[in-house]
Amino acid sequence: MTGSIQEKKGRKYYYAVLNTYNAEGKRKLKWINTGIPVKGNNKRKANEKLKELLVDNSRYNIDPTKDVYFNDYMLHWLEMLKISISPNTYESYRHILQLHIAPFFRGKKLSEMTSFVLEQYISEKLKVVSPNTVRKHLVNISKCLDTALRQNIIMYNPVKRIELPKKVKFDGAKYYNEKQIEQLIEIAKGDPLEIVIRLTIFYGLRRSEVLGLKWDAVDFENRTIAIKHTVVQVGSGIYRSDNTKNESSRAVFPIPNRILSELAALKAESGNNDYICAHKNGDPILPNYVSKHFAALLKRHNMPHIRFHDLRHSSATYLKYLGFDLKDIQIWLRHKDIGTTMNIYTHLDMDAKSNIANSLDARLDFSPTT
């Protein structure tokens, strides 16, 4: 929640103006008399009062003795959760609430949240989003209702009494082989995404990480670059954070000669830019631009379509091509769990199996006898 201190014409006291939002995301201004006189140079006191009011009002003060609306309670739950999750996660949750959950449950009270109602929600949402996405929605709904249960507002959590949509294993991950990676680096020369693509492939970065690279993360003297800042897009909002996906994602990488020379040249041209990945006018390159422009670049050069995130998998293929083992790749890609690395290896091993099968087929005569 945000707010400001304002003066009302003809009034003696400062007013705190709070930007409040309902569960549907509509803004409503809330004016509160601070009781602090305008006269007497009291602006600082008024701002201190504003801070107190923001804290008090950000909790929405749900009365557990009353039958509240589910949307209001979930918004209250989300605000309570805000202090324990990253800004990116908070905005992602709020986006889901406003776009999906709130419109469906508008007018429903907590006491009306039944298994039947939730099954209706599942049926409706499966028409527009994947089963995995619906499961994510229900996880948050369940956590919210668990809080209401602990507060004795509801008698049970209805999410625990329904069957969740079956999780669909994602088989859409693709990757480029070593020749395609080298071809991509070639066609990206002179493109606005050139440095983005090169750093992503070289260090196996996530989109949020490569776009979050700042010049203060580069130590030219010690020849290192630190992964410590991210840029994420949720809906139309851009969220910058000094938090990475997890603790293992924070890392310091060495910078070899050619990358160092390229960064030094780029730094000389960058002026006062904070971010390494920026347009020529100095504006930071944003996540949605990367995804759209990358797809257009591949199409323009008749290269197989892959997601930008698949460059991270492609980095693993190139490391395997260079002879690095499973543990080496896990360390370089900063996978918290080696199982994630092994999943990528499963895809890579299919190439090896195909080569074996083709070699056997060429050498062994399995033609039928006549």
Query: What CATH code is carried by the domain that includes residue 254?
Result: 1.10.443.10
Do 294 and 270 lie in one domain? The reply is yes
Are residues 108 and 189 located together in one domain of the fold? Answer: no
The C-alpha atoms of residue 176 and residue 321 are separated, in whole angstroms, by 12
**Is residue 352, in this structure, part of any structural domain at all?**
no
Per-residue model confidence (pLDDT) at position 170: 57
State how far the Cα of 184 lies from the Cα of 23, in Å rounded to an integer.
Answer: 45
Residue 37 inside a domain? The answer is yes
Per-residue confidence (pLDDT) for residue 362, from 0 to 100: 73
Residue 287 lies in a domain: yes
Residues 182 and 317 placed together within one structural domain of the fold: yes
Where among 127, 161, 195 does a domain terminate?
A: 161
pLDDT of residue 173: 59
DSSP lists the bridge partners of residue 6 as 15
- pLDDT tens, N- to C-terminus, the chain (370 residues): 677 888 887 788 888 888 776 555 567 788 888 888 888 788 888 888 887 777 656 544 555 556 789 999 999 899 888 888 877 788 889 889 989 999 999 999 998 999 999 999 999 999 999 999 999 999 999 999 999 998 888 889 999 999 999 987 655 557 898 899 999 999 999 999 999 999 999 999 999 999 999 999 999 999 999 998 998 887 767 878 776 555 555 789 999 999 999 999 999 988 888 999 999 888 999 999 999 999 999 999 999 999 999 998 888 888 888 888 878 888 888 877 766 666 665 555 556 666 666 766 676 655 565 5
> Is residue 25 within 8 Å of 99, Cβ to Cβ?
no
Q: Which are the contacts of 95, defined by CB distance < 8 A and separation ≥ 6?
A: 234, 235, 237
Instruction: Give the range of the structural domain holding residue 306, as residue numbers without chain letter.
Output: 178-341
- Which residues touch 241 (CB under 8 Å, ≥6 apart)? 86, 87, 88, 212, 229, 230, 232
- Whether residue 346 is contained in a domain is answered as no
What is the pLDDT at residue 89? 82
Is 273 in contact with 215 (CB distance < 8 Å)? yes
Question: What torsion do the CA atoms of 110, 112, 113, 114 make, to the nearest 10 degrees?
Answer: 150
- The reply to whether 49 and 98 lie within a common domain is no
pLDDT confidence of residue 201: 93
129 and 277 both lie in a single domain? no
pLDDT value for 194: 95
Residues 6 or more apart whose Cβ sits within 8 Å of residue 13 = 33, 34, 35, 36, 37, 38
Separation CA 356–CA 39 (nearest Å): 86
Same domain, 153 and 220: no
Which of 161, 189, 224 corresponds to the end of one domain?
161
CATH of the domain at 110: 1.10.150.130
The count of other CB atoms within 10 Å of the CB of residue 286 is 14
Whether 146 is covered by a domain: the verdict is yes
Distance CA 370, CA 365 (A): 13
Q: Does 216 reside within a domain? A: yes
Same domain as 323, residue 205: yes
Are both 182 and 292 inside the same structural domain? Answer: yes
* Co-location of 187 and 290 in the same domain: yes
Integer Cα distance of 240 and 233 in angstroms: 9
* DSSP-derived 3-state class of residue 231: strand
Residues 157 and 224 in one domain: no
Whether residues 191 and 311 fall in one domain: yes
Residue 350 domain-assigned (yes or no): no
Number of structural domains the chain divides into: 3
At 136 the pLDDT is: 94
Res 249: pLDDT: 53
Shared domain check, 75 and 52: no
Q: Look at residues 161, 196, 224 and tell me which one is the last residue of a structural domain.
A: 161
| Domain presence at residue 354 | no
